[in-house]
Chains A and B, each alone.
Chain A
Amino acid sequence: MRQSSTDKRHFITVSVLVLIGTAVMFWLLDSALPMPIQASIQAQTVDQVFQWTLIAIAFLFSLVVVFMLYTVIVFRRRRGDTGEGEHFEGNTALEIIWTVVPLLLVVLFGYIGVTTLTDITKAQENEVVVQVEGFQWSWLFTYPTDSGEFTSTELVLPVDQPARMEMSSRDVNHSFWIVEMRVKQDVLPGQTTVLRFTPTIEGDYKLRCAELCGLSHWNMLASVRIVSPEEYDAWLAQQSSQAAAITTASN
């Protein structure tokens, strides 16, 4: 005997299945989407945002799919039955509920989105400023020092100190992305764009261009070193004296 489709038991079963589905889905998504290491303060915020969306995705996904699979199994036509389904054309209360509840969810995620955005883009004191220039198909970093400036083909930054990249392009659009730092920013000709991040783990990373920029876009890389403050100061001193020596020599 077929139960009426508005029987409470259907909804109790589906609710339980949706909860189980959410947990399974979250576990699946979490293992299918392996995050690279978190090497900046911004990475922690970004990953947090991503985790929240994963929870929402897991829930909404299993909500729809479990309901759908449930109807496929429970409300399939039995052999020999040629009758029609139950006749109901809609339910305004339900429609309002599933308009308003998602709207609240949008407000919640809007709030999360705006506060985290402010968080990862705000200016900080004591920023290390590096001028970044992108061109087909390399990167060049310019460091200001007391005695002028010097350029480098690798990006070296001190750990635990906010860094600000002031970037422009010599030719076409490029994009600055170090996956372990998470955040990225396009690099444009004729305009200076800014990207802030605070590295938290010493080590070697890769800067990769993320905007198609022609033939060797795939290979537009630069090495990135995050070092201790002492090592950074030593590197700065060595680079600027080298630059000074070259300037003197060429004079």
Chain B
Amino acid sequence: MSLMSLGIVRGFVWQIAGTIIGIVFAVAMRLMMGMSPWATEPVWVVAILFGSMGFLIGVGSMTDWFKWMVGIDTPMRHGPPKGKPAWTRYFGVDYNHKVIGIQYTITAIFMLAVGGAFAIIFRTELARSGLQFLNPGQYNTFIGMHGWAAIFAIFIGIGGMANYLVPLMIGAEDMAFPRLNAFAFWINIPAIVWLLASLYHGWDAGWTLYPLLSTRGEPGFQFVFLSVFLLGFSSILGSLNLIATMLMMRPKGMSLFRMPIFCWGVMGASIIQLTATQFIAQSFLMLSFERTLGMPFFNPDGGGSPLLFQHLFWFYSHPAVYVWVLPGLGVISEILPVFARKPLFGYRWIALSSIAIALVGFLVWGHHMFTSGYANSLRAPFMLATLLVAVPTGVKFFSWLGTLWGGKLTFPTPMLFALGAISVFLLGGLSGPPLALVGSDLFLHDSYFVIGHFHATIFGGFVFPFLAALYFWYPKVTGRMYNETLGKLHFWIMTPAFWMMSVGQMSVGVMGMRRRIADYDPMLGGMTSSGLSAVEIGQTVVTISAFLIAFSILLMIYNLLNSAEVGALAGNNPWRSRSPEWQIPSPAPEHSYATPIRVVGEPYDYGLPGSTYVTMATAGDD
């Protein structure tokens, strides 16, 4: 088998070829226009566009479409590759949503590791005051890389969960648009390449990329703008596909209020992605245009406004936080009833609270800008709208408690991570009000308190639930059980470590530690009797915790890889779940459901004798 038969290898070769063609094209254009042949930034912008296109063609993500254009028919389903080992299908274009879901998930774990590695590097630097081994330029690049790598991991991780689970959960054969689905996944790969390539030139404005800092300086910025643009494109197409799938492909008897609750989280997230991603794409394109084409959207010297960028950026980036957490909160709601052996308390309230959070989320972007210099009169309305988010979020917490109350709880690893997620998300949520109230925000804005707050929110709303999901659906994906002891060890290392990290970050923030600084004043918070200053103790705790978290994640990766070979066979339904995906064999077969399913009851009626959620139609049934 030749290496070139792997789609991803072909993609990379085409990407390199496209990049070279782009460079040649740009240089030729410049010469024709009488300019000097080389200018790093404009030439690279053209090269990035050509290279990305090259990848998407080379990998084969558009092959079926091209064939349709010239009138060649292709089969609806391609099935596993013929004449090649089964594993090769994960390294090339495949239209099966389960394959795409796994591709997304593995990519997400990879990006999580990349983002985590950057964090570990600068956390080590920050353990002590003084500049140890990073210079400020590297430091500033690494914090931004950490941010975007982590955000890639989150979006791609959500893509993984949604693609694998949604069609299975609603008994659909696949997603509504399988080719669009594959295309949306593969866009992420050149995006990741360009993001990593941005390291070469560096860029020093943090993930928020505020101008005018991001409109001057290194060409590395262009790589990030265009990389994020591609990620956003993937996000829009993916969400469109998910919404269409959930609205059009549910089986007989599954009203919206009888969907597994995870689908509601995905629905809320997809509505935001479909309608708001355009704003960040727009804002980053404007940055790119300002740099390459000399359009001064944000530079006051040319009539622009630096504040305009912040409005466009946060109009998307606040709701984006709910894209990151709503599917995760759905995972929590999905797991609790199974291990409490009880119905999900207040299904409709939980479902509608996802939509409420998604909608209120559009009205609160200004809370990121309380110190930005917009009109003082705007502060109060944004503050009130922000506080309002607490209400639907509270409904979720209380409904989870109602679900647990009176159950018969067991605590395998997924349940532990679901409960850990609740505690961490609670910490994240409750550290929000001091930032929502303008008075205390004027103090805490841009301090480490904010870092503590949003890491708790994202770990509680995405990372912990994502890990819970990995352990929970692992038997369905691989047919085998992960190692329970290692899973629990992972949980018991990671959760206390995360707690120490978050509280440590908030603590040094209150002492006056600013975010995004390569070095800090060791005297913040004053000296302690130990001979170390308070801020250094806090920083050291945070760094040690970060190492523990990284170690525990490596433990999980080992567990998941190893158990795929040596784990005990899981059987169809090791968790005794009512959800349709657990009624079919593990690993889930190529065609998930041999016959259409029919919904005959409520999804979470655990403890109601004689009730079932779905039945598999037998041959001869209508």
Q: Which residues of A contact B (CB under 8 A)?
A: 4-6, 32-36, 45-46, 49-50, 53-54, 56-57, 60-61, 64-65, 67-68, 71-72, 75-78, 81, 83-91, 94-95, 98-99, 102-103, 105-106, 109-110, 112-114, 116-117, 119-121, 171-173, 175, 177, 179, 182-186, 188-191, 193, 206, 208-219
Contact = CB atoms under 8 A, between A and B. Distances in A.
Contacts of B519: 218-219
A85 B136 contact: no
Interface string B383-412: 110011011001101110110111111110
A177 B411 CA distance: 47
Contact of A50 (B305, B408, B443): B443
Given A87-B606, A210-B447, A215-B204, A113 B439 contact: yes
B423 interface: yes
Contact of A218 (B373, B387, B517): B517
Nearest to A206: B521
A117 B380 contact: yes
A177 B343 CA distance: 51
Given A32-B503, A76-B408, A213-B213, A60 B606 contact: no
B406 to A, nearest CB: 3
Nearest to A176: B371
A71 B379 contact: no
A197 B65 CA distance: 64
Given A106-B390, A186-B373, A219-B519, A85 B436 contact: no
What class of interface size applies to chain B in its complex with A? 35 or more
A193 B440 contact: no
B443 A182 contact: yes
18 contacts: A32-B506, A46-B440, A46-B442, A49-B439, A57-B430, A64-B422, A68-B404, A87-B606, A90-B399, A98-B395, A171-B212, A177-B446, A179-B443, A182-B443, A185-B373, A185-B442, A190-B299, A217-B136
Given A36-B512, A110-B387, A184 B212 contact: no
Contact of A89 (B347, B387, B431, B437): B347
B346 A81 contact: no
B204 A214 contact: yes
A87 B578 CA distance: 15
A117 B379 contact: yes
B290 interface: no
Interface string B586-609: 000000000000000010111110
A85 B510 CA distance: 44
B340 interface: yes
A249 to B, nearest CB: 34
B422 A71 contact: no
Interface centre among B384, B440, B519 (most CB of A within 10 A): B440
Given A86-B607, A114-B383, A215-B204, A50 B440 contact: yes
Contacts of B136: 215-218
Interface centre among B306, B340, B514, B605 (most CB of A within 10 A): B514
Given A57-B433, A95-B399, A188-B372, 10 more contacts: A5-B405, A45-B439, A64-B422, A65-B426, A87-B606, A90-B343, A94-B398, A106-B384, A189-B212, A206-B521
Contacts of A213: 213
A124 to B, nearest CB: 15
B212 A211 contact: no
A190 B607 contact: no
Contacts of B510: 33-36
B339 to A, nearest CB: 9
Given A75-B409, A188-B306, A212-B516, A113 B383 contact: yes
A160 B401 CA distance: 51
Nearest to B206: A212
Nearest to B447: A210
Nearest to B534: A34
B342 interface: yes
B520 interface: yes
B210 A5 contact: no
Contacts of B201: none
B394 A68 contact: no
Contact of A46 (B217, B373, B439, B602): B439
Contact of B408 (A85, A90, A209): A85
A172 B346 CA distance: 50
B75 interface: no
A183 B343 contact: no
B437 A57 contact: no
A111 to B, nearest CB: 10
Given A67-B401, A68-B422, A84 B518 contact: no
A23 B348 CA distance: 34
A190 B213 contact: no
Given A33-B506, A53-B437, A114-B380, A177 B514 contact: yes
A139 to B, nearest CB: 15
Contacts of A88: 342-343, 345, 406
B37 interface: no
Contacts of A53: 433-434, 437, 440
Contacts of B524: 36, 179
Interface in B154-201: none
A180 to B, nearest CB: 8
Interface in B413-469: 419, 422-423, 426-427, 430-431, 433-434, 436-440, 442-443, 445-447
Nearest to A220: B517
B507 interface: yes
B395 to A, nearest CB: 6
A60 B383 contact: no
Interface centre among B391, B443, B445, B515 (most CB of A within 10 A): B443
A175 B211 CA distance: 14
Given A90-B345, A116-B439, A217 B445 contact: no
Interface centre among A64, A85, A114 (most CB of B within 10 A): A85
B402 to A, nearest CB: 7
B349 interface: yes
Nearest to A120: B439
Interface centre among B299, B395, B437, B518 (most CB of A within 10 A): B437
B294 interface: no
Given A34-B510, A210-B447, A106 B388 contact: yes
B437 A116 contact: yes
Nearest to A180: B512
A184 B430 contact: no
A90 B307 contact: no
B518 A110 contact: no
Contact of A68 (B395, B419, B433, B445): B419
Nearest to B435: A53
Nearest to B503: A32
B511 interface: yes
B607 A90 contact: no
Contacts of A177: 446, 514
Contacts of B217: 214
Interface string B92-127: 000000000000000000000000000000000000
